[in-house]
Amino acid sequence: MAIRDKLIFIYSLTLIGIMIWIGLILLAPYLQSQSSVLAKFIYTVFAPTCHQISSRCIHAFGYPLAVCARCMGIYAGFFLGTIFYPLIKGFSAPSLPQAKLIILVSVPIAMDAVGNFLGIWMSSNWIRLITGALWGIILPFYFLAGISEYFLRQNKRSISRNLS
């Protein structure tokens, strides 16, 4: 399999994965409104990744999403970043963005989180969602480059072993 094909495969799995992840987050409140036992399972699956404080969650069907607004923003941003990835980077050799870019997009979410933690202000869920999305949108550019590099390196090692 050519490098380009492997990168497209990794990209496709990532896109499908984040779509399923977000789908479960959005499905949880609907299932809860229907008194489905699957709702409790989904909330439990997401509990290790998010505090799930109801007042910090966006609600649908009268129940909170499976994650807070900030986490939902991160996942939604990750999805958007994944959609834009091929338009910006293509499927040639993966490369990491400059470090200053991750620092730049980390400032709003960090300031918001610290301000809330210290009690300086209390952000609305929409602000949490937006700062999460700003941060999340850059993550696929690091994730896809890193995971692609890992698998391409593994492929080179197996070819080297087969040649020796």
pTM of the model: 0.89
List pLDDT tens digits, range 36-92: 999 999 999 999 999 999 999 999 999 999 999 999 999 999 999 999 999 998 887
How confident is the model at residue 43, as a pLDDT? 98
Residues above pLDDT 90, as percent of the chain = 77
| DSSP-assigned beta bridge partners for residue 63 | 60
Neighbours of 138 (CB within 10 A): 18
Q: What is the mean pLDDT of residues 97-105?
A: 91
pLDDT value at position 1?
63
What's the CA gap between 132 and 144, in Å, rounded?
Answer: 19
Residue 162 clears pLDDT 70, i.e. is over it: no
